[in-house]
Amino acid sequence: MVGDKDIIKAVRETPEHGFRLLMASYKEPVYWHIRRLVVSHADAQDAAQETFVRIFRNFSQYNEENSFKAWIFRIATNEALRLLGRQKGDMMLSLDEVTADMLGTKTDEYFDSSDAITMKLQQAILQLPAKQQLAFNLRYYDELSYDEIAEVAGSTAASMKVSYNIAKEKIIAYMNNND
């Protein structure tokens, strides 16, 4: 597995080669992160594609003092929020403006309804406020540190740790009470 430092160096030295390395490492995590927020495959595809275009075009703005992974997930999160905002008629939503009923309102053919417990878990996650949802997804699925999650959400590590723990408790309660 190619590390982030190698990817950054490669993008700066030979952009096409470097960007292919970047996509090889991040196309799936970025897509699934967005998919968990917007649910629909078509929407996730659009937002993921736009995410990588923005990463490429704004690569010079990346500050190496910050986490590369967090920078990528921040752009991906913003693209998901931008897409949800467009669907609501606004240009861009902040995490605080996203309500649970706006997240994941659409399903499509790329949805497996045969696995009941995974469906229920996603429903439980989608019930959460956006900030808790983001904290839970980035920690549970993407295994980001609390510092990295804070960079993505524009918050503090302590706050994101609290959000994660609250989210986890709410999910457990939902899974136990909604049979």
Partner 1 sequence: MDKQFNFEQVGKRMPYNVPDGFFDQLEQNVIAEVMPDDTVTEKSKVRARTVKMAIHTILAAAAAVALFFVVTKNLPSDDTQADTFEFVELAYNNLSNEDQEFLIDVYEEDVFIIENEEMNY
* Positions in the binding site for partner 1 (CB under 8 A): 14-16, 19-20, 23-24, 27-28, 31-32, 35-36, 39, 41, 45, 48-49, 52-53, 56-57, 110-113, 115, 117-119, 121-122, 140-141, 171-172, 175-176
Closer CB to partner 1, 88 or 111, in the complex: 111
C-beta of 44: minimal distance to partner 1 in Å?
A: 8
C-beta of 64: minimal distance to partner 1 in Å?
A: 21
How far apart are the C-alpha atoms of 139 and 135, rounded to whole Å?
A: 6
Q: φ, ψ for residue 153 (rounded to 5)?
A: -85, -10
Closer CB to partner 1, 39 or 144, in the complex: 39
CA angle 16, 152, 9 (to 5 degrees): 25
C-beta of 76: minimal distance to partner 1 in Å?
A: 13
C-beta of 136: minimal distance to partner 1 in Å?
A: 11
Closer CB to partner 1, 145 or 174, in the complex: 174
Closer CB to partner 1, 65 or 115, in the complex: 115
C-beta of 69: minimal distance to partner 1 in Å?
A: 17
The CA-atom distances, in angstroms, between 13 and each of 10, 91, 98, 163 are 5, 35, 39, 39
